[in-house]
Structure 1
Amino acid sequence: MTVFRQFADWLGRLLEPQPPARSLPQPAPDAGAAPVVPYQAPPAPAKPVRSRRAILHEVFDTGMPVANRAGLAGRANELERLLEAVLDHRKHGIIYGARGSGKTSLSRIFGDMADERGCLVLYNLASGDISFADLFRPYLHDIAAEPQSKVRRSEVEALLNEPFDARRLASLLADRVERRTILMLDEFDRVRSLETKAELAALMKLLSDMRSEVSIVTIGIAANLEDLIEGHPSLRRHLIAVPVGGLTPTDLDALLRRCLSRVELDITDDAAATIVSAAVGSPYHLRLFGLYAALQADIAGKSVIDGDIASRGLQVAFGEWRDVSRRNADLLLSQIDRPRAVALPAAIICLNAAMRSRIDRMEIIAELDEPNAAEQVDAMLATLSPILVESSTSGQYVFEDSLAPQFFLLLFTRRIAAGGTERGHGVGHDLRALLQDKGATQ
């Protein structure tokens, strides 16, 4: 085929009519366009709905220290004293008071404020027969872990593997710690070793003498204050002791109403007075009794707590405590219906324990103020000995269950009855005047 023939064939194919191109079918004139559906993200998992009771427990939480200064009811003076002495005057501190008085809450708020001022604040819990070295090793770990710490790990490791005393630790802290540091030691009252207490007192004294940047703040009960300074009387000028006593009725009433307002509950004045006086100065017991009153109001579908609801709450609180602390409850209950000469010393012992950090034999004898008071008090202390823990200070005790005193006083003053919901009338008037004198009632 010639070139011209090939060209003619190609030109012919090019000029031939082409079949129409296929296209997508057109919609019928009356067919509506399909709506455009925008992308929707899958819905987030639904948050669980908290029950009303869960909210009540959270608001009246008795198991956790308060988390902010606003919740530290009635403790402004104690906080200011602690801040001034430890942060401004570089003293050591001892916070002491009855269980449930708010010691740990006070120490936590103090620690937060010290942290805001640039201090390194470290916490530890004491226990039992712990040795001095074991008590302070956790602090050494934390100090060495600080990014700007001048304490070398090799120095810490040497102390981790062998015993050390107060002088060796004080030398290390005074020489190597340049940042203001506060060592918080909670539950110091649990330390039983007199040797550990003596070494701690020596450490405080040495740190002060060496003008160290480290201060120690212990939290415990009053009986341990004398234990701590017994061997170092001169230590007194290097520390501040901050007692955390019972709150006033006014402060307790304000705390109760503040908690209730958060859950949209109101309370009558007589019901508030019942709960406040039952707490005997303790913010812990105030929250506990307030919680049970709020729960009873919730069960009844009421928005106002009256006297009957408050009493019902106290009764339920007692019943639940008795279920978990049967030995303590039964021994105290056995004293309720005994003759006045027996029951009254038991009540004053419980009052002493509730309003202070410990039971003091001589104070109870003075408060009883009756012929043969010493014999009556000694007999009752012997009766209650199975549920008391004797302090290393002669003549001083604490209840093994710190809730026990307030519950016994509820029974003694006939705010609740031992076997039912009806309140009785009996020897309660013997203690009311004493409670009034001590500011525990309104």
Structure 2
Amino acid sequence: MSFFARLRDWLSGLLDPEPPMSSLPDLRIAVGTPVQEASATVRPGARPGSATQPGPGAVSQPARANAGVMAISSQRTRIHAAFDAGMPVEHRAGLAGRARELDRLVEAVLEHGKHGIVFGARGSGKTSLSRVFGDLADEAGATVLYNLAGGDIDFSELCRPYLVELMSIPGEGVRRIDIQPLLNAPFDARQVASILAEKVRRPTIFVLDEFDRIENLATKTEMATLMKLLSDMRSPVRIVAVGIAANLEDLIEGHPSLRRHIVSVPIGGIETEQLKALLLRCCETAGMTIDDAAATRISRSAVGSPYHLRLFGSNCAIAASRAGQDHIDDAVVQQGLVDAYAEWSALSPRAAAVVADIQRLPKQIATAAAVICLAAAMRTRIERTEVVLVLDEDGHDDATIAAAFAALSPILHASAIEGSYYFDDTLAPQFYLLVYNRRIDPTRIKTPGLDDLRTVLERGVRDL
């Protein structure tokens, strides 16, 4: 399906604001509040339901309260473990909607001997994909080594851990004497490529996560050179780089010759039904049930993002737990989405302020901004020409489109490629759409600690 066709499908389902919400329900419960049970112990001679002293075998209120706290704690632990929005999945069963991307990476790297570059938005599942790929590569007999990039790290610091790890693997072929000159002195791509090509005999994969965080241009240049040299030397060592990017050019800028040696695996938004299947698996693991309408609402709100799906789902499950239930219905979904937004806005106040401000603009501008956010949620990078073509069909003039881009400009930036843009907070598009579709009302959300500060100010400095 073409991008425009998919965007049109998403538009038809996501950009029709719902009626304004009613007041949020109060889902709080008091931990340890006595619960009447039909099988409660009754003192002989007492009327059913009358006050009694605990009889033999009866559970005291403190013990019952402690049991309730332990049960809630256990349930919350299961919920966090099942959804775990902040961590990559460890098993292929949790890798929802990425079968095609996984097959592409396996075929290119394991069968054709190419390097891989996996890129997409934050929370799109890049690291999860690379972990599952690593499991498959391991099962196929390859050695898989992981490392994280970032900051002003130089090439030698980035590659040295791989060499040290290879040296410690029996039968790998790399000995300490082979890499001794590289352990305490800087080296370049040709030096390390020569050792790897000569000494490594079995398929070996270096997975390099957060490749986009490398700030040292010389390091990126040497890494690109290493990829090319390993291919030219027919080394069994392959590199899979993983990073946040809107397109391949953002990661291999200045190294077009790499294209024939690599496979690019873009990670875009996945379909609502696949997100829904992931949500149902998470709920089952957490010991929760969920209404079909509630599951659909959470899945649609995630707009293609597994991270948002897990984040929204976990907050909704916790809201249900606070309400003393193990079932997620529409009422707790409303509260869970509010909680997720509050959590994000506390960590990203500038982006949250932009989201709130745009809602005060004319509807046409807010809708144009929603289309921009929708394109970003699906593709990470926004192509202005594509957005304009879609909005022109809906009757948006150039001035409205320009106003939407301007309204988003505090968090939307032009990329190195002319006519394209990206969000500095790649989680923001889904939260904007959450507000646009009136699934939550940001004006009802208070910044944590605001009331405390106001109380201090009203009380005065003398009382501190």
Q: 1:202 to 1:119 in 2, by over 3 A?
A: same
Q: Structure 2 matches for 1:417-428, cutoff 5 A?
A: 417-420=441-444
The structure whose RCO (Cα within 8 Å, separation 6+) is larger is 2
Counterpart in the other structure of 1:299: 322
For residues 227 and 399 of structure 2, what CA distance do their matches in structure 1 show? Answer: 41
Q: Structure 2 matches for 1:10-409, cutoff 5 A?
A: 50-223=73-246, 225-369=248-392, 376-388=400-412, 391-409=415-433
Seq. identity, %? 55
Q: 1:310 to 1:392 in 2, by over 3 A?
A: same
For residues 72 and 181 of structure 2, what CA distance do their matches in structure 1 show? Answer: 53
- Say which SS state the counterpart of residue 205 (structure 2) adopts: strand
**Would the aligned equivalents of 1:197 and 1:227 in 2 still touch at CA under 8 Å?**
no
For residues 404 and 163 of structure 2, what CA distance do their matches in structure 1 show? Answer: 46
For residues 407 and 380 of structure 2, what CA distance do their matches in structure 1 show? Answer: 21
1:295-353 deviation digits (Å, cap 9, x = unpaired): 22222233432222212211121122222222221122111111134323322222222
Q: 1:198 to 1:366 in 2, by over 3 A?
A: farther
For residues 123 and 397 of structure 1, what CA distance do their matches in structure 2 show? Answer: 31
- Say which SS state the counterpart of residue 117 (structure 2) adopts: strand
Q: Which has the larger radius of gyration?
A: 1
Q: 1:145 to 1:243 in 2, by over 3 A?
A: same
**Would the aligned equivalents of 1:201 and 1:228 in 2 still touch at CA under 8 Å?**
no
**Would the aligned equivalents of 2:380 and 2:426 in 1 still touch at CA under 8 Å?**
no
For residues 327 and 72 of structure 1, what CA distance do their matches in structure 2 show? Answer: 32
For residues 331 and 324 of structure 2, what CA distance do their matches in structure 1 show? Answer: 14
For residues 235 and 218 of structure 2, what CA distance do their matches in structure 1 show? Answer: 23
- 1:411 maps onto 2:435 in alignment: yes
Question: 1:377: Cα distance to partner?
Answer: 4.6
Structure 1: runs of 5 or more not aligned: 1-46, 422-442
Question: 1:259: Cα distance to partner?
Answer: 1.4
For residues 292 and 299 of structure 2, what CA distance do their matches in structure 1 show? Answer: 10
Amino acid paired to 2:104: R
Counterpart in the other structure of 2:19: none
Q: 1:388 to 1:125 in 2, by over 3 A?
A: farther
**Would the aligned equivalents of 2:212 and 2:251 in 1 still touch at CA under 8 Å?**
no
**Would the aligned equivalents of 2:121 and 2:246 in 1 still touch at CA under 8 Å?**
no
For residues 416 and 157 of structure 2, what CA distance do their matches in structure 1 show? Answer: 22
Report how many residues are paired. 375
**Would the aligned equivalents of 1:267 and 1:304 in 2 still touch at CA under 8 Å?**
yes
**Would the aligned equivalents of 2:115 and 2:227 in 1 still touch at CA under 8 Å?**
yes
Question: 1:373: Cα distance to partner?
Answer: 5.5
For residues 235 and 285 of structure 1, what CA distance do their matches in structure 2 show? Answer: 33
Q: 1:94 to 1:280 in 2, by over 3 A?
A: same
Counterpart in the other structure of 1:8: none
For residues 213 and 367 of structure 1, what CA distance do their matches in structure 2 show? Answer: 46
For residues 293 and 244 of structure 2, what CA distance do their matches in structure 1 show? Answer: 33
Answer with 339-348 or 406-415: which moved more: 339-348
Answer with 64-73 or 365-374: which moved more: 365-374
**Would the aligned equivalents of 1:67 and 1:109 in 2 still touch at CA under 8 Å?**
yes
Q: 1:262 to 1:374 in 2, by over 3 A?
A: same
For residues 132 and 383 of structure 1, what CA distance do their matches in structure 2 show? Answer: 40
Please, what TM-score do these two structures have when normalized by structure 1? 0.78
**Would the aligned equivalents of 1:101 and 1:284 in 2 still touch at CA under 8 Å?**
yes
For residues 171 and 62 of structure 1, what CA distance do their matches in structure 2 show? Answer: 41
**Would the aligned equivalents of 2:119 and 2:267 in 1 still touch at CA under 8 Å?**
yes
Question: 1:383: Cα distance to partner?
Answer: 4.2
1:7-44 deviation digits (Å, cap 9, x = unpaired): xxxxxxxxxxxxxxxxxxxxxxxxxxxxxxxxxxxxxx
For residues 254 and 319 of structure 1, what CA distance do their matches in structure 2 show? Answer: 26
**Would the aligned equivalents of 2:72 and 2:321 in 1 still touch at CA under 8 Å?**
no
Amino acid paired to 1:110: F
- Say which SS state the counterpart of residue 444 (structure 2) adopts: coil
Q: 1:132 to 1:364 in 2, by over 3 A?
A: farther
Question: 1:181: Cα distance to partner?
Answer: 0.8
Q: 1:384 to 1:148 in 2, by over 3 A?
A: same
Q: 1:132 to 1:406 in 2, by over 3 A?
A: same
For residues 399 and 228 of structure 1, what CA distance do their matches in structure 2 show? Answer: 16
Please, what TM-score do these two structures have when normalized by structure 2? 0.74
Question: 1:93: Cα distance to partner?
Answer: 0.8
Question: 1:265: Cα distance to partner?
Answer: 2.4
For residues 380 and 138 of structure 1, what CA distance do their matches in structure 2 show? Answer: 46
